[in-house]
């Protein structure tokens, strides 16, 4: 088997805004994704260099020259600075560096964009060769950058091969071998080359993207019989999700109970000392420590209350004081009431006149000094910390005079179900062939209990136009969209082709090596502002619930700024034998802590078929079980396994 052709790539983002805040760079990551998606068995693009710089002529030239002359990259793509803006100077910086211009590449990109918007005519794209490096410029918007690169990415390997002095035959051999392995070639593009580099092209139709999904208008007889999506592991899927789940920015919110579940976007400092005055730790008497034991007149009372002025205590006097009460000026210690006795009272017996002190007080005994708990300027809550329902974070923020804080925005989630057979769960009666929607209520409940704002987009029938319309509506209102159903190989499984072909979403994976949840699909779509995530989960109730915990919830936590965004895992001992499946399984179980054994115990919830929602009842953990092998077909009682916690411990 011949090895894949490797092409080194550099991506240069040119933007004043992104250079000041790298989180604003959406085009760079988008281009990386395009290269990754275009990498196949025979052709691989490796993005080994990336940078973000301002719209600076000299900087642009220096980096591009370094990458081409010193780093010897095969391909350099710049994004940004190609418009008519005052600071748009990318073409002016790049053109002098080109030893050969390639107007055909620029023409292909502009032509593609003009099919989408007439404003593409305002894009000043250039491309060409420097040394052995292909250099192209694309617009700064994520959508424009993606469209333009996809328009020419299939010709770049050939261009690189020619720039290096080759004939292009090796690349064509690789591409043809690659096409043979694909279920079909939708490009309709055939090329014949001889050693004189004569190019004869036959274009059956124009396309700028390659799709794995079936055409929406194709007959059922032409649908693919095997999934074209490569099967990847759960860990690989989680890495892909993590690379695409981006923090949405930060907002300022008041300190109150609504802060629970949010993550601090900056360190918070104490504005006031705690305590703000010298305070008594106990109920007793404020004294001058040097006076020692003896009988003293009680000259006043200091209680935990608002006072206009601090009392003044002289040697030979004491003041009755309560816990939290201000220490009088002149007092140097507090003696607990248990270490005193009453000597005399007022004539009516209501007030203490003199009290005997039985112990020798030490200076500052039972006194909280100003700022002894928290001093001004102390970091009380650090960036990245979660505000928990325990109340400690809200309490300490309130105690030091902090009225508002900056937190990371929490994503808004949309939930919808698909399927002609699916009806609302509260329908009075079912018709033949109908099923009640349990997925949507379950996912809405999970979203609500975890503290995220959730929007319900109902049930969508298996109709191409209706599905497209509802998806567009939902994506205009949410940051993360979760759908259930329509992702398998059925005639009416329309999610993947609708996302890919109608919405121009990028499908990052569409098949997982796991049980349940094999057809779980993850996609992203670039809006005008940021990347939105789409999780298309299987329609089977258990599959939808399990994959929502494994993939959706961690993504939401990462977007919300959680440092530890994966769900917690503990080791648990199996209480019964479990037969293994060929695929790694996420087995529903109830775990509890056995204090006599000092370990967690896991009990299976029974039949694990993906349609049996009863297996989720009382489930608070997913047991990570390995796939079956010839050597290991069953895990016996007493085996220790990893358990992902999804609910409260019993």
Tens-place pLDDT, residues 20-35: 888 888 899 999 999 9
Q: How far is CA 416 from its chain centroid? A: 20
* Token pair recorded at residue 119: 């404003």
**Could you count the other beta carbons within 10 Å of the beta carbon of residue 358?**
12
Instruction: Please check the confidence at residue 191 and state whether its pLDDT lies above 50.
Output: no
d(CA 12, CA 59): 11
pLDDT in tens, 517-538: 999 999 999 876 689 999 999 9
Q: Where are the beta strands (DSSP E) in 364-501?
A: 367-368, 379-381, 404-408, 412-418, 422-423, 435-436, 453-460, 480-484
Residues in the chain: 650
276, 324 Cβ separation under 8 angstroms: no
Give the integer Cα–Cα distance in Å for 23 and 26.
Answer: 8
- Reply yes or no on whether the pLDDT at 77 is more than 90: yes
> Residue 170 — very low, low, confident or very high, per pLDDT cuts 50/70/90?
low
Q: Which residue has the tokens 């005399």?
A: 344
Q: Helix, strand, or coil here: 606?
A: coil
Beta-carbon count within 10 A of 277 CB: 14
pLDDT at 171 over 50: no
Averaged pLDDT, 316-325: 95
Residue 216: the pLDDT is 57
pLDDT at 204 over 70: no
Tell me what pLDDT residue 220 has.
Answer: 56
pLDDT tens readout for residues 345-368: 999 999 999 999 999 999 999 999
pLDDT of residue 466: 93
As given in the structure block, the two tokens for residue 143 are 């959508």
Q: Are 103 and 170 in contact (CB under 8 A)?
A: no
The fold adopted by the segment(s) 279-368 is Molybdopterin biosynthesis moeA protein; domain 3 (2.170.190)
Give the Cα-Cα-Cα angle 251, 252, 254 (nearest 5 degrees): 140
Weakest mean pLDDT among 101-115, 272-286, 473-487, 591-605? 101-115
pTM of whole model > 0.75?
no
Average of per-residue pLDDT across 229-249: 92
For residues 2-17, average pLDDT: 86
Domain boundaries, the chain: 5-210, 250-273+373-408, 279-368, 411-559, 569-645
- Rg (the chain; Cα; Å): 34
Least confidently predicted of 110-114, 208-212, 267-271: 208-212
3-state DSSP call for residue 522?
strand
Class at the top of the CATH hierarchy for domain 411-559: alpha beta
CA distance 547 to 23: 28
Start-to-end CA span in the chain (Å)? 54
According to CATH, the topology of domain 5-210 is: Molybdenum Cofactor Biosythetic Enzyme; Chain A (3.40.980)
Per-residue pLDDT band for 236 (boundaries 50, 70, 90) equals very high
Helix (H, G, I), strand (E, B) or coil at 38: helix
Average pLDDT in the 529-549 region?
92
Task: Evaluate whether 259 touches 405 at the Cβ level (below 8 Å).
Answer: yes
* pLDDT greater than 90 at residue 121: no
Of 515, 510, 513, the residue nearest 497 (C-alpha): 510
Tell me if domain 5-210 and domain 411-559 are identical in fold.
Answer: yes
Nearest to 109 by CA among 148, 140, 54: 148
The verdict on domain 250-273+373-408 having CATH code 3.90.105.10 is yes
Confidence (pLDDT) at 311: 85
For residue 179, pLDDT over 50 is answered with no
- Average pLDDT value over all residues in the chain: 87
Q: What is the CATH number of domain 569-645?
A: 2.40.340.10
In the predicted model, is pLDDT for residue 310 greater than 60? yes
């Amino acid at each position: 088997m011949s090895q894949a052709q490797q092409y080194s790539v550099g991506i240069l983002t040119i933007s004043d805004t992104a250079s000041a805040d790298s989180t604003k760079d959406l085009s760079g990551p988008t281009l990386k994704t395009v290269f990754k998606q275009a990498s196949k068995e025979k052709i691989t693009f490796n993005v080994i260099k990336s940078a973000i710089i301002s719209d600076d002529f000299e900087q642009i030239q220096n980096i591009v020259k370094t990458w081409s002359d010193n780093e010897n990259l095969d391909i350099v793509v710049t994004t940004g600075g190609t418009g008519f803006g005052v600071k748009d100077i990318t073409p002016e910086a790049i053109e002098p560096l080109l030893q050969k211009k390639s107007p055909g590449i620029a023409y292909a990109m502009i032509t593609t964009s003009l099919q989408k918007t007439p404003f593409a005519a305002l894009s000043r794209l250039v491309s060409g060769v420097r040394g052995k490096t292909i250099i192209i410029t694309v617009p700064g918007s994520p959508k424009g950058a993606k469209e333009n690169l996809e328009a020419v990415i299939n010709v770049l390997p050939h261009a690189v091969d020619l720039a290096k002095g080759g004939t292009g035959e090796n690349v064509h051999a690789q591409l043809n071998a690659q096409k043979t392995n694909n279920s079909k070639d939708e490009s309709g593009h055939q090329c014949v080359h001889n050693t004189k580099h004569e190019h004869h092209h036959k274009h059956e139709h124009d396309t700028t993207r390659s799709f794995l999904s079936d055409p929406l208008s194709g007959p059922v007889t032409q649908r693919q019989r095997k999934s074209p999506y490569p099967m990847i592991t759960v860990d690989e899927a989680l890495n892909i999700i993590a690379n695409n789940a981006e923090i949405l920015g930060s907002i300022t919110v008041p300190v109150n109970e609504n802060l629970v579940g949010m993550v601090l976007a900056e360190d918070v400092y104490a504005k006031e000392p705690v305590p703000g005055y010298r305070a008594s730790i106990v109920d007793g008497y404020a004294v001058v420590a040097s006076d020692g034991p003896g009988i003293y007149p009680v000259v006043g009372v200091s209680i935990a209350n608002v006072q206009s002025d601090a009392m003044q205590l002289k040697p030979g006097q004491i003041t009755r004081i309560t816990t939290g009460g201000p220490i009088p000026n002149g007092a140097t210690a507090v003696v607990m009431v248990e270490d005193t006795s009453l000597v005399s009272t007022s004539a009516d017996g209501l007030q203490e006149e003199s009290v005997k002190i039985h112990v020798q007080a030490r200076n500052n005994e039972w006194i909280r000094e100003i700022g002894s708990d928290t001093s001004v300027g102390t970091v009380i809550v650090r960036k990245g910390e979660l505000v928990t329902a325990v109340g400690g974070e809200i309490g300490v923020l309130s105690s030091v005079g902090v009225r508002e804080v900056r937190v990371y925005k929490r994503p808004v989630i949309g939930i919808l179900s698909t399927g002609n057979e699916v009806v609302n769960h509260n329908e009075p009666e079912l018709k033949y062939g109908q099923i009640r929607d349990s997925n949507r209520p379950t996912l809405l409940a999970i979203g609500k209990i975890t503290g995220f704002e959730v929007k319900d987009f109902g049930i969508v029938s298996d109709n191409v136009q209706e599905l497209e319309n509802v998806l567009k509506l939902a994506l205009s209102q949410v940051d993360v969209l979760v759908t259930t159903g329509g992702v398998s190989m059925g005639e009416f499984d329309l999610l993947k082709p609708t996302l890919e072909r109608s919405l121009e979403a990028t499908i990052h994976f569409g098949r997982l090596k796991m049980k349940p949840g094999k057809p779980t699909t993850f996609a992203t779509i670039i809006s005008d502002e940021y990347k939105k995530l789409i999780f298309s989960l299987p329609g089977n109730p258990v599959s939808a619930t399990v994959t929502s915990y494994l993939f959706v919830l961690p993504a939401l936590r990462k977007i919300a700024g959680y440092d530890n965004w994966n769900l917690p895992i503990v080791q648990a001992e199996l209480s019964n034998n479990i037969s293994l499946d060929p695929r790694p399984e996420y087995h529903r179980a109830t775990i509890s802590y056995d204090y006599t054994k000092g370990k967690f115990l896991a009990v299976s919830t029974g039949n694990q078929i993906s349609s049996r929602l009863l297996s989720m009842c009382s489930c608070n953990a997913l047991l990570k079980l390995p796939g079956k092998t010839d050597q290991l077909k069953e895990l016996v009682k007493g085996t220790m396994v990893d358990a992902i916690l999804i609910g409260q411990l019993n």
